[in-house]
Amino acid sequence: MTVAASQPTGFQPAYERHDWSSAFRNVGVELSDVPLEPVRGTIPAELKGTLFRNGPGRLERGGQWVHHPFDGDGMISAFRFEGGQARLTNRFVRTEGWLAEEQAGRFVYRGVFGTQKPGGPLANAFDLRLKNIANTHVVQLGDQLLALWEAAEPHALDPRTLETRGLSRLEGLLKPGEAFSAHPRFDPGHHGEPRMVTFGVKAGPTSTVRLMEFASADQPDGVRAGDLVADSRHSFKGFAFLHDFAITPSWAVFLQNAVAFNPLPFVLGQKGAAQCLASKPGEAGQFWLVPRQPGHHAGARPLLLPAPEGFVFHHLNAFEDPATGEVVVDSIYYDDFPSIGPEVDYREIDFDSIPEGQLRRCRIDPSSGTVRSEWLEQRCCEFAMVNPAKQGLNARFAWMAVAQRERGNDPLQAIEKLDLQTGERLVWSAAPRGFVTEPVMVPRLTDDSPEEGAAEDIAAEDSGWVLVPVWNGARCATDLVILNAADMTEQAVLELPLAIPYGLHGSWSATA
């Protein structure tokens, strides 16, 4: 495992497919408050709080494998840090579907990404139930930990024990089965108080987005963490596939990908719902700029502007440029919607056959309705984030998971720190036998004094740590690696007594 400047174009990766695919397995045990000792380095004494992670933890039942890992049941991991020590707890989310399938010993629900119940198309036809698998994200809101899956309500968990409290409709704010995004954004306090901003989408020929804002901390005026403080609905023409969005102080920024949805194969039991999505060749997407209620454009109508061709799952960040009046959005673009066909085994996927994600900056001019763009990073990348204090602001640094080589599509094996102003890159690599998932940047609560001659704001922005789970193909188990966010040097490696499949999203809580 190394840290170095970015390698020259043409560098070839060195990994074995069996190392990568060995991560696809079931989590076999649930642990409670197990101490973790670093096998290299030391845990920073200043690191205090909890890293929560979510992802598919059950990929097989009764000898049948899911068709896509995104259909796996949600499993939460909590890594608690204090005083240079770490402890691990993990639990499956006790959803209705998980309980039913645990009892049956087989799949009894279809998966959105193509997993079928036993019995072929006839057994799956006209079964349009959605299994809420609670496997995509996990965030703390007030005294509840929420396991998120964007097609339905969240599940509430105990933040300490991870025991499932049950399906949550947020004290009646959500209707039964109402969509609640698995990708909220945390406003650090652009309007005086921190907020969790999120959305739900009802897709169809006309799609409706519900934009919600919750207090994420108790306020002096009696507003409690978890209280809804803003709520609005907006309808747009066309089918909307929205996994993520971005925020600025004034706007919620959505990108409506140019996709079509043909439900017939899903209804007939031939495909999962997500497999019925297809890009519209030659068509570009559309940006939706929805005014936030606390912002300068509160009460105005949403703005619709053209987006570059391509498909976007995730955004890095957005901000408002005071010099030009533009809204700047950084997103990870794919040439096309990456999907796995009904006859393809995801463990044998040909990476060269699917497009890679690349980081692109779009500058949106609301006054003229024009959009211009440039590439920020053409290395295959995903799961990018900025310092949480810079959410919605002009951040200088980004941290993201990247492929080992600089061009072409490969498994993610490294973490890159990218200077968004200069283009300078630092890369920590887990290759050849390590494979990374989403990094989480944890800011230092009390910044060290900057070095002589360094700008204070730069020193503060990248002062902290990057926490990243790594699949270790050499021992067929998971490591948790702690990096120095500034220079990407390795601070500690914790070998977990647990094998966790590749996860999706996670969050840091300084209070849990």
pLDDT at 87: 98
Provide the β-strand partners of residue 187.
195
**Up-side HSE of residue 161: CA atoms within 13 Å toward CB?**
4
The answer on whether 183 is annotated among ligand-binding residues is yes
Q: Do the beta carbons of residue 347 and residue 24 sit within 8 Å?
A: yes
Q: Which domains does the chain have, with CATH numbers?
A: 2-446+455-509 (2.130.10)
DSSP letters along 161-198, please? T--EEEE--TTTTS-TT----S--EEE-STTSS-EEEE
Average pLDDT value for residue range 189-211: 96
**CA nearest to 481, candidates 426, 442, 425, 447:** 442
**CA nearest to 23, candidates 45, 56, 50:** 56
Q: How far is CA 295 from the centre of its chain?
A: 25
Catalogue the long-range contacts made by 114-121 (C-beta closer than 8 Å, 24 or more residues apart). 114/67, 114/68, 114/71, 114/271, 114/272, 114/274, 114/275, 114/340, 114/342, 115/66, 115/67, 115/68, 115/71, 115/272, 116/67, 116/269, 116/272, 118/62, 118/64, 120/269, 121/268, 121/269, 121/270
Confidence of residue 455 (pLDDT cuts 50, 70, 90): very low
Kindly give, in sequence order, each residue whose CB lies less than 8 Å from that of residue 45, ignoring residues fewer than 6 positions away.
Answer: 83, 84
**42-87, pLDDT tens digit by residue?**
999 999 999 999 999 999 999 999 999 999 999 999 999 999 999 9
The answer on whether 297 is annotated among ligand-binding residues is no
Q: Return d(Cα 480, Cα 38) in angstroms, integer.
A: 9
Q: Is it the case that residue 342 has pLDDT exceeding 80?
A: no
Weakest-pLDDT range from 8-12, 254-258, 402-406: 8-12
Percent of the chain whose predicted confidence (pLDDT) is above 70: 95
Phi, psi of 102 (to 5 degrees): -60, -40
Q: Is it the case that residue 1 has pLDDT exceeding 90?
A: no
**Torsion angle of C-alpha atoms 106, 155, 331, 260, degrees rounded to 10:** 60
pLDDT at 338: 78
Q: Return d(Cα 185, Cα 399) in angstroms, integer.
A: 16
Percent of the chain whose predicted confidence (pLDDT) is above 90: 87
Place of tokens 């174009």: 9
Distances (CA, A) of 217 to 148, 279, 294: 20, 40, 17
Confidence of residue 475 (pLDDT cuts 50, 70, 90): very high
pLDDT at 367: 92
Weakest-pLDDT range from 339-348, 377-386, 393-402: 339-348
Average pLDDT value for residue range 269-297: 91
Q: Do the beta carbons of residue 280 and residue 294 sit within 8 Å?
A: no
Question: Sign of torsion, CA 391 392 396 401?
Answer: positive
**80-99, pLDDT tens digit by residue?**
999 999 999 999 999 999 99
Kindly give, in sequence order, each residue whose CB lies less than 8 Å from that of residue 1, ignoring residues fewer than 6 positions away.
Answer: 428, 429, 430, 434, 481, 490, 493
**CA nearest to 427, candidates 358, 334, 498, 489:** 489
The answer on whether 243 is annotated among ligand-binding residues is yes
Average pLDDT value for residue range 133-145: 96
**CA nearest to 448, candidates 51, 50, 46:** 46
Characterize the bridge pairing of strands 490-495 and 73-82.
Answer: unpaired
Provide the β-strand partners of residue 196.
186, 214
Place of tokens 């940047």: 441
Confidence of residue 171 (pLDDT cuts 50, 70, 90): very high
Phi, psi of 42 (to 5 degrees): -135, 150
Q: Do the beta carbons of residue 501 and residue 27 sit within 8 Å?
A: yes
Average pLDDT value for residue range 314-328: 97
Q: Is it the case that residue 460 has pLDDT exceeding 70?
A: yes
Q: Is it the case that residue 447 has pLDDT exceeding 60?
A: no
Q: Do the beta carbons of residue 395 and residue 317 sit within 8 Å?
A: yes
pLDDT at 459: 46
Q: Do the beta carbons of residue 486 and residue 496 sit within 8 Å?
A: no
Average pLDDT value for residue range 287-310: 93
Q: Return d(Cα 189, Cα 389) in angstroms, integer.
A: 9
Q: Is it the case that residue 427 has pLDDT exceeding 80?
A: yes
Q: Is it the case that residue 8 has pLDDT exceeding 70?
A: no
Q: Do the beta carbons of residue 463 and residue 456 sit within 8 Å?
A: no
Mean pLDDT of the chain: 93
Q: Is it the case that residue 231 has pLDDT exceeding 90?
A: yes
pLDDT at 110: 96
The model carries a pTM of 0.94
Q: Is it the case that residue 253 has pLDDT exceeding 90?
A: yes
Confidence of residue 13 (pLDDT cuts 50, 70, 90): low
